[in-house]
Amino acid sequence: MLKIEKKKILLVDDDSDYLFQMTIALEDMGFEVVAAQTQQEAENIISKIKPDLAILDLMMENQDTGFILCHIIKNKYPDVPIIIASAVTAETGLLFDVESEEDRQWIKADLFLDKGIRNDQLHKEINKLLKI
């Protein structure tokens, strides 16, 4: 029997409800989910396993926890794609984007997504990053 290894997604968010719902959604898409609710939990996970992709909330313990985690992950696993899912853009009008080379230098994420994104859109974006 052919056994396909599931891709592992690290999901970090301080909202336990979002974490719960997102885990169900991602598992439905056929991924394995490793979830963390704090920066520390996420760092512990990263030190033990290498995920295939990471989805991080931006504002957790601090307003920039997402950026910090992003940095840590990219340092350890430069090839792991990272999505920052945030509600920040929609509400503050502060636009973060990683389109230009300059932005990419300081924001290490591969993609910024609004948290309100539909699941099928999210699935498409993940597949693109995982090159499936």
Interface residues with another protein (CB under 8 A)?
14-18, 20-21, 24, 37-38, 40-41, 59-62, 87-88, 90-93, 95, 115-116
Contact 81, 110 (CB under 8 A): yes
**Measured between alpha carbons, how far is 88 from 95 in angstroms, rounded to an integer?**
8
For another protein, which is the closer residue by CB, 28 or 32?
A: 28
| Smallest distance from another protein to CB 80, Å | 25
| Smallest distance from another protein to CB 131, Å | 29
| Smallest distance from another protein to CB 14, Å | 6
| Smallest distance from another protein to CB 44, Å | 11
CA proximity to 129, closest of 109, 102, 99 = 109
For another protein, which is the closer residue by CB, 36 or 80?
A: 36
For another protein, which is the closer residue by CB, 5 or 17?
A: 17
Give strand ranges (E) for the chain: 8-12, 32-36, 53-57, 82-86, 111-114
CA proximity to 9, closest of 72, 29, 106 = 29
